[in-house]
Amino acid sequence: MLSGWLLALASASLLSSPHGCIAIPSPGPVAAGQPGLTIPLTRRAPPVRTVDDWAAWAQNERQFLALRYGSDSPQKRSEGVNLLTNQNADSSFFGSLAIGTPPVAFDVVLDTGSADLWVADTSCTSGCSKIALLEAASSSTLKNLSQPFQIQYGSGQAAGYLVQDVVQMAGFSVSNQVFAAVDQISSGLLTSPVSGLLGLAWQTIAASGATPFWQTLASSSGTWTDPVMSFQLTRFLNATNVKDDEPGGTFTMGFVNSSLYTGTIDYQNIPVTPSYWLLTMSSMTVQGKSITIPTGSAAYAAIDTGTTLVGGPSSAIQNIFAQIPGSAPGTGSWEGYYTYPCNTAVNVAISFGGPSWSVSPADFQLVQLSSSQCVGAFFVLSATSGGTGPSWVVGDTFLKNVYSVFRYSPASVGFAQLSETALAMNGVDGNAPSATIGSVSASATAGAGGFNGAGILCDFTDEPLEGELADEELRRLLVATDLTEGDCTGAETMRLLHTTCGLSSHWRVMWTVFLAPADLAASCLRGALPVCVSDGRCASLQSTHHR
């Protein structure tokens, strides 16, 4: 089974944002030979909040992240763009996607800190007022998988059942995407008009076990021009006369928008098996002075678009504020945060093994408590149980200052300096994008995942590839190779698997045969060290599959 901290982390990302997000409109059709779609983001201005409101939010943010991260040969293919909405003064950013046949548009938070897609449906009884709801009966292609789903957050939970249907976004479509139709949502988890969340992390932390929408597209040959997603987020935190919904920037799939950054993109590889988008934080300066931060695995940082602030180890946060005269630990509702003089412009720069990236003083300031005292946007992230979770969670406070790229292969995260074009969007009043349905320029089919039914999943070490076989073909494969519970590495078996998956013999291979629970289920991991199981339950297969 997946470890507890992975499940918790997958659950938490969406709701870690204190502010709201707004949907991105889908672009129109993509003409042959032209670049793909771009997704505009919308930002929503914050409602009037008292200091007590901010304090309650701040504590909820800490609790949420603690739980989520484990408290306890080039060829032109296709590209897509989704405009984002900035909700509640940089608190969260959301875009839009469409589900079903005929397609219906929904606003969803875009969250690189989790891996599940879920939306509220018409049977929802709590926490879902004034938002668009999924009506299962209205889609001719929706299939109820009759499997329960639940995600726990620091401030509540979302629960429902798993379904499968066509999902499209920014000109891309997955015909059999597994996601959750949620009928129970804790109060405050969603802010209108957002109907759910789209997880953009790796399948290894998906509570549902399903392959994430983005990962199916990135791994499908010929779907994306390049195996990347990118974000450019706007800043309205320090703007005046901000509306509830403001343009939030851009989310792209399959390419990077060269007009939104300058110079080169510095990519740093994920240091461990992909789960979250983890990087190793190598150094940090505050007011131009280097501070001491943890090293090794204690320096792992989750790059999380679904989190508003930056959380880190107690010692490191203390060292940050030690460089700011007049700062002090927060007390009461502000425990875990620090106050500092509002007239101090705080300059923080962070490196993840390459260049140092600066955080604007405007982003460092979370809220003003009085005429002289402000609260910083860097806070103490509670230690995880057993120390298995990432020590840092780096959210939008940092990400608004860079052009960020999330690359499928090799698994890595890249940052680049924002261009003048991108910077000119900050604080500029405009019409927020609305949820719309665009045309599909490329489609893909999700792999077998961890669900009942026959299928074969082939995964390269460096370039995963997914394929499926029908029940009859799988049964013939089993018969032809005389596969038994105790023998899953015969030469003929491996030959057929290599042929099916298009593998070369020198590649390390992981393959899994999924059959109905009553049948034999076998999983051979990486060829050299086979692991065979006779239990056909999906959970067993899924946990065996994850690396």
Could you say which of 116, 121, 266, 304 is catalytic? 304
CB 205 within 8 Å of CB 5? no
Q: Exactly one of 90, 107, 111, 165 is catalytic; which is it?
A: 111
Residue with tokens 């994850």, as numbered in its chain:
546
Q: How many CB atoms lie within 10 A of CB 318?
A: 16
CA distance 43 to 234: 8
CA distance 30 to 311: 40
Burial of residue 455 (number of CB atoms within 10 Å: 0-12, 13-18, 19+): buried
State how far the Cα of 278 lies from the Cα of 269, in Å rounded to an integer. 9
**111 catalytic, yes or no?**
yes
- If we measure between CA atoms, which residue out of 181, 277, 194 comes closest to residue 17? 194
Nearest CA to 355 out of 420, 299, 401, 411 is that of 401
Q: Which residues pair with 229 in a beta bridge?
A: 253, 406
Give, rounded to a whole angstrom, the gap between the first and last alpha carbons of the chain: 11
- What is the SS3 string spanning 380-408? ECCCCHHHCCCCEEECHHHHCCCEEEEEC
> Which secondary structure element, helix H or strand E, spans residue 322, and what is its range?
helix 314-322
Residue pair 234/94 in contact (Cβ under 8 Å)? The answer is: no
Active centre residues (catalytic): 111, 304
